[in-house]
Structure 1
Amino acid sequence: MQGVLGVFHHLDSTVSAIEELKKKKLGDVTVFSPTIRHELDDAIAGPNSVVRRFTLIGGLLGVSFGYWIAIWSSNYWPLVTGGKAIASWIPYTIIGFEVMVLVGALSTVAGMFINSRVPRLTATVGYDDRFSAGHFGVFIACDATKASAAEDLLRHAGAEEVRREA
């Protein structure tokens, strides 16, 4: 993947560069930050995560399995007391809830790993060690025709360093 990388020292200039790049539609923007900053999240305005679907499906499967296993075990080894029903849903709600939380949490973790593509076997294009020490980075994946416009925009926004990456 080729593109242009801009290294910023200040958060405000990074946010303004991202907003300008989004307006110009020069390419896909990747942002590197030493910490989580909500200003960057607002500037990127990415799509909602699909991990919550993993949580919903896992929770529904977990509660269904929790009720099923409790009812199955009651029917397989019946304990008849005073003519009451063998399987009643009210006491099994606790088991259903606990299994729902367990399977929902495990599916959330699995969805997070699947969507973040962990483990990443290749190096991230555009990453610099300074991004872990306090600087911000903006990488624009674009072809050579748009690279000069992206370089000018990043320099105008206040980037300390602008370079092409291949």
Structure 2
Amino acid sequence: MQGVLAAFRELDAAVHAIEELRSKRLGDLTIYTPTPRHEFEDALGHPSSGVRKFTLVGGLLGVTFGYWIAIWTSEYWPLIVGGKAIASWIPYTIIGFEVMVLVGALSTVFGMFYLARIPRLTMTVGYDPRFSHGDYGIFVAAAPDKFSSVEEVLRRHGAAEVRGER
């Protein structure tokens, strides 16, 4: 992946550079920060997370499985008590709820790992160790013909270093 990497020492300068890069649509952005900052989230304007879809599907599958396993068990090993129904949904709601919570929670954790692409076995393009120690990094994945305009925007906003990456 080709692009331009810039290192910023000030948070505000990096945020203003991100806003201008997004408005000019010069390329895909990857941001490196030592700590999570809401300023970057606001500047990037990411859509809401898709993890909640994993939670919904996992919860629905869990409650379905919980009811099914309880009803199947009571049909397979029936306890006939005074002419009452062998399978009744009211007591099985507890089992359905518990399995829904279990499978929903596990699918949420899976969704977080899957969408975050964890574990990342290789270092990402554009990472510099100083981005873990206080500097902010912006990697712009762009075509080589846009490099000069990307570099100009980054330098204008006060980047400490700007370089091309492969």
Using the size of structure 1 for normalisation, the TM-score is 0.95
Residue identity matched to 1:7: A
**Segments of 4+ moved more than 4 angstroms:** none
Equivalent position of 2:124 in the other structure: 124
Distance 2:46 2:28 in 1: 11
Distance 1:79 1:38 in 2: 58
Shift of 1:47: 2.5
Equivalent position of 1:57 in the other structure: 57
Shift of 1:72: 0.8
Equivalent position of 1:44 in the other structure: 44
SS of structure 2 residue aligned to 1:48 = coil
Shift of 1:45: 0.8
Distance 1:127 1:142 in 2: 16
Using the size of structure 2 for normalisation, the TM-score is 0.95
Equivalent position of 1:74 in the other structure: 74
> Where in structure 2 are the equivalents of 1:16-31 lying within 5 Å?
16-31=16-31
Residue identity matched to 1:8: F
Shift of 1:11: 1.3
Q: CA RMSD in A?
A: 1.2
Structure 1: tracts of 5 or more residues without a match: none
Structure 2: tracts of 5 or more residues without a match: none
Identity %: 67
Q: Which range moves more in the overlay, 60-69 or 84-93?
A: 84-93
Residue identity matched to 2:27: G
Equivalent position of 1:158 in the other structure: 158
Equivalent position of 1:112 in the other structure: 112
